[in-house]
Amino acid sequence: MKLWTRGLYRLGAVAVILAAAWILVPRFGTESNLINLLRQAFLLALVATGVSLSMLVAGLDLSIGAVAALSSCLAAALIVQGHVVLGILAGLAVGALGGLLNGAMIAKLKLPFFIMTFSMMFIVRGLALTYTQGTSIHGFPGRFTWLGKSFVGPIPMPVVVGAAALGLLHLVLTKTTFGRITYAVGANAEAARFSGLAADRNIIHVYSLSGLLASLSGLIYIARLNAADADLGMMWPLEGIAVAVIGGIAFSGGEGNILGLVLGGIVMAVVGNCVNLLGLPARFQDFFIGFVIILAVLIDHLTQKRGKVAK
């Protein structure tokens, strides 16, 4: 019950924001803008999945941006040679591998997630730059840019891919044993161990998945930009946290869901979009986002209180 009511509150809030934007901001409602809004929202949500998954197990993955950069640069190197499928697979593999390393060090060697992923961020970014030597890899075959540029009816491919990935993730989290164990580990890792669950293995899988999704976002981005740079996703960890927080993923672990994440993505996208549509300087964006975060969390806080009362 409780979780549902909270979901509804958030849905309502987003509806209000959208309505307000629609009325107040010129050209907000136009088809082209909505499409581009949709695209930005889903890409943000996708980027945030990496951070959110680690948050679900009471961790935090600061290395997603760097991992995405490295994996997409390596992938790009293969793709420009025409090995599209191979490149994509390699990219995803590298991402998952990076995540695996994070997870293993955190779960098995008990490194604090902060130190591990923070250091990982440096290491991986460094490797990516060493590989590209600071020049971009560009000129992809259409068979690849298709991933970021083509449309399904009016819907841009990134939205389709993003929606598919998020939907799949939603199923995995709600309808599978892996999902349940993930929430359990986030709620109380020790209890999970003492209940005979493979908590450590779960944490490793979660971080690997987070790395995998990061590299997927990376691939979509380079397909859109039609070029891969080693400085891809510098701000992703912070953007991801913002989306996750607005989406109601709890830092304490074990709370939050994908629906919230998508809503968070929409809110972030709307804020940025409106700032540009209103012709305000970019600088207002950060301010509003910080503001929205507090606001979202306050709403959440109140509804949570309700939840307790409702017992």
Partner 1 sequence: MKRFVRFACLALVGVVALAGVALAAKDPKDVHVALVVKDLTNRFFVEMKWGGESAGKQHGIRVTVLAPEKYAVDNQIRIMEDLIQKKVDAIVIVPIDGAGIVSGIERANKARIPVFNLNTLATGGEVIGFAGIDHVQLGRIQGQWGVDTLKGKGNLVILEGTTGASSAIERQQGVTETLKKAPGIKVLASTTAKYNRQQAMKVMEDLLTRFPEIDMVLCANDAMALGAKEAIKDARRKMMVVGIDAIPEALEAIQKGEMAGTVDSNGFDQGFVAVDLTAKYLLKDQKPPKDTLVGSGMATVITKENALAFDKSKTEKFKKFGIKVD
Partner 2 sequence: MVRLTAKLRSAFSGPIIICLGMIGVFSLLSENFFSLSNAVNIIRQASVLALVAFGQTFVILLAGIDLSVGAVMGLTSCVTATLMLKAHLAPVLAAAIGVGVAALCGLVNGLVHSFLGLNPFIPTFGMWGMALGAALIITEERVLTGFPATLRVLHDGEFLGLPAPLLLVAAVLLVLHTFLKATPHGIATYAIGGNEGAAHLSGIRVRLHKTLVYAFSGFMAGVAGVLFLARSNAAQAIDTIGYEFDSIAAVVVGGTSLMGGKGGVSQTLIGVTLIATLRNGLNMVGVNLYLQLVFIGVVLILAYVTENQSLFHFLRELKRRLFGAPTSAEEA
Partner 3 sequence: MAEPLLKMQGVSKSFPGVTALSNVDFDLYPGEVHVLIGENGAGKSTLIKLLSGVYPTDEGRFVLDGQEVSIDSVRAAQEFGVATIYQEMNLIPELTVAQNILLGREPRKGGGLLVDADAARRQSAELLGSLGQHIDPDAQVKALSVPQQQMVEVAKALSMAARIVIFDEPTGTLAEKETAALFKTIRLLKAKGMGIIYISHRLEEIKEIGDRVTVLRDGHHIRTLSVAEASIDELIRLMVGRELKDQFPRRRQPRGEVALELSHVSLQGVLHDVSLTVHRGEIVGLSGLVGSGRTALARVIFGIDRPDSGEIRVLGRPARVDSPLTASKLGLAFLTEDRKALGLFQIRPVSDNIILAAIHRLFPRFWIDAGRERAVAQEFVTRLRIHTPSLNQLVQFLSGGNQQKVVLAKWLATRAKIFILDEPTRGIDVGAKLEIHRLMDELVAQGTPIVMISSEMPEILGMSDRIYVMKDGRIGGEFAHHEANQERILKCAVGG
Regarding 30 and contact with partner 1 (CB under 8 A), the answer is: yes
Does 308 contact partner 3 by CB under 8 A? yes
Taking CB under 8 A as the rule, does residue 1 contact partner 3?
Answer: yes
- The reply to whether 138 sits near partner 1 by the rule CB under 8 A is yes
**Binding test (CB under 8 A) with partner 1, winner from 221, 237, 257, 293:** 221
Q: Which does 287 bind (CB under 5 to 8 A by kind): partner 1, partner 2, partner 3, none?
A: partner 2
Under DSSP, the state recorded for 280 is -
Are 261 and 45 in contact by the 8 Å Cβ rule? The answer is yes
**Which partner from the list partner 3, partner 1, partner 2, none does 279 bind, CB cut-off 5 to 8 Å by kind?**
partner 1
User: Cβ–Cβ contacts within 10 Å for residue 26, how many?
Assistant: 9
Residues ≥6 apart with Cβ < 8 Å to 46:
162, 165, 166, 213, 216, 217, 220, 265
- DSSP letter for each residue of 21-37: HHHHSTTTTSHHHHHHH
77 binds partner 3 (CB under 8 A): no
Tokens 């549902």 -> residue: 4
Among 279, 301, 309, 310, which residue interacts with partner 1 (rule: CB under 8 A)?
A: 279
Residue of 71, 74, 67 whose CA lies nearest to 49: 67
Instruction: Give CA–CA dist 210/232, Å, rounded.
Output: 17
Taking residue 267's Cβ as centre, other Cβ atoms within 10 Å add up to 26
The SS3 assignment for 188 reads: coil
Question: Least distance from C-beta 259 to partner 2, angstroms?
Answer: 19
Q: Which two tokens stand for residue 49?
A: 């999945």
The single residue among 196, 279, 282, 283 that binds partner 3, judged by CB under 8 A, is: 196
User: What is the footprint of partner 1 within residues 155-194 (CB under 8 A)?
Assistant: 156
Which partner in partner 1, partner 3, partner 2, none is near 301 (CB below 5 to 8 A by kind)?
partner 2
Tell me which of 27, 110, 301, 308 binds partner 1, using CB under 8 A: 27
Binding site for partner 3 (CB under 8 A): 1-3, 175-181, 183-184, 187-188, 190-198, 254-255, 308-309, 311
